[in-house]
Each structure stands twice: as structure tokens, then as C-alpha cells.
Amino acid sequence: MKLHLANAGQQNVITAYGDGYVQVNATRHENSIAVDISSVTPWEVADIRNLTPSNLTTIAAAKPEIVIIGTGKSFVFPHPVNLRPLIDARIGYEVMDTAAACRTYNILLGEGRNVMAALVVE
């Protein structure tokens, strides 16, 4: 699905997503990523069922206001112990399938929120 959102400045906007990819601006990513307003980095989680606390340590260190966790094609809520780095850092989080996470990230970004999306791409 292609998304249309005005890209004010150099923001990282999710412009499309589908089976096996997420597109940020004009760049297609076929592996899991963490994206915020200014960076896109690989995220080592290929299956949300294998999430560990260490997978969220770097994300928590970036100190976003909220993290949107995209769990892939299906919604799978991670075990709360694996979310501990976000909880300890008092960072809000929402968990949803990756398609919904892409849309939600863009909405929050458009509102000027300090948001990060951690997206499982499958």
C-alpha cells in the first residue's frame, strides 16, 4: 500500500509497505528496521516471538516519547519482560501489526511527536 503524506523537510516518512518490505521516503527496506524522524537503522528482530530485552536497549537509549512496535503480518503481543527497557526508561509503547504501525507512525510524526517505529518486516 502506498501512503501519501507531505514530507516537510528531511523527515523519515513511511511512504509504502507491503509483503516483505517497508519503504521510507524513496528507499525500500526488506528487513526489519527502526525508524525515527532522522534515522533508519536495521533492527535485528526478524520474528517478534524472538524479541529479547536487548533488542530494545538501543531504541530506549534514543529516548523517543513513544515507540510503535510493528509485529509483522500478524499481531503478537511480546512478553512484558521483553519490553522492560522501554518500561524502565518510562517510554510509552504501542504494539500492533506492521501495516498499522506504519500508518500510526506517520500520524504521530505528522503531529510533531518524538516517535520511533520498530518494524518487523516479513
pLDDT tens sequence across 44-97: 999 999 999 999 999 999 999 999 999 999 999 999 999 999 999 999 999 999
pLDDT at 89: 98
Range of the domain at 34: 14-119
The size of the chain, in residues, is: 122
Does position 7 have pLDDT exceeding 50, yes or no?
A: no
- Average the pLDDT over 105-115 and give the result: 97
Residue 4 inside a domain? The answer is no
Residue 3 inside a domain? The answer is no
Closest CA to 101 of 63, 65, 75: 75
Residue 8 inside a domain? The answer is no
Residue 48 inside a domain? The answer is yes
What mean pLDDT value characterizes the chain? 94
Residue 1 inside a domain? The answer is no
Q: Is 77 exposed, middle or buried (0-12, 13-18, 19+ CB in 10 A)?
A: exposed
Q: What CATH number is attached to the domain comprising 100?
A: 3.40.1230.10
pLDDT at 10: 81
Q: How many domains does the chain have?
A: 1
Buried b (16+ CB within 10 A) or exposed e, 3-38: eeeeeeeebbbbbebeeeebbbeeeebebbbbbbbe
Does position 9 have pLDDT exceeding 90, yes or no?
A: no
Residue 9 inside a domain? The answer is no
Q: Which residue has the cell 533508519?
A: 40
